């Protein structure tokens, strides 16, 4: 048996193997973060619980102010949810700006 056959497993092509492995790859690489601050911390805790139940992935809960103070490493495949009661909480907005600068896309509602 050749190495190529071993790596392909029961799939006919590497393309087919990659397609079938995509869901597992997403689960293995995605990290979720919830960043509340101020009075909405309890809402953040509930948000984390719901997201973990729906995705079956671990979700990290951090205060937005601590997130900035610790210089938390953020990666391209992280999914961050910023929660603010007023929409104007300085620490939450600064954390959002930090992540947007490093990573990329954001959706504000």
Which domain CATH number covers 36? 3.40.50.10490
Beta bridge partners of 78: 31
Model pLDDT, residue 33: 78
Hey, is 105 helix, strand or coil? coil
Structural domain includes residue 8: no
- Number of structural domains, the chain? 1
* Calculated CA dihedral for residues 85, 87, 88, 94, nearest 10 degrees: 100
Model pLDDT, residue 30: 61
Low-confidence ranges of the chain (pLDDT < 70): 1, 5-6, 25-31, 103-109
Alpha-carbon distance of 87 to 12, in angstroms, equals 52
Structural domain includes residue 21: no
Structural domain includes residue 13: no
Structural domain includes residue 76: yes
Model pLDDT, residue 86: 80
Alpha-carbon distance of 104 to 106, in angstroms, equals 7
Structural domain includes residue 81: yes
Structural domain includes residue 65: yes
Distance, CA of 29 to chain centre: 9
Structural domain includes residue 78: yes
Model pLDDT, residue 7: 74
Model pLDDT, residue 95: 86
Q: Are 17 and 10 in contact (CB under 8 A)?
A: no
* Domain coverage including residue 47: 31-103
Backbone angles phi, psi at 38, to 5 degrees: 70, -140
H helix or E strand, kind and range, residue 82: strand 78-83
Model pLDDT, residue 58: 85
**Rg of the chain over CA atoms, in angstroms?**
18
């Amino acid at each position: 048996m050749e190495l190529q056959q071993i790596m392909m497993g029961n799939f006919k092509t590497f393309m087919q193997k990659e397609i079938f492995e995509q869901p597992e790859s997403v689960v293995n690489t995605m990290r979720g973060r919830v960043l509340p601050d101020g009075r909405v911390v309890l809402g953040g805790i509930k948000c984390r619980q719901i997201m973990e139940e729906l995705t079956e992935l671990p979700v990290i809960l951090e205060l937005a102010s601590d997130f900035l103070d610790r210089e938390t490493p953020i990666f391209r495949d992280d999914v961050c949810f910023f929660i603010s009661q007023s929409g104007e909480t300085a620490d939450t907005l600064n954390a959002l700006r930090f992540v947007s600068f490093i990573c990329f896309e954001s959706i504000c509602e």
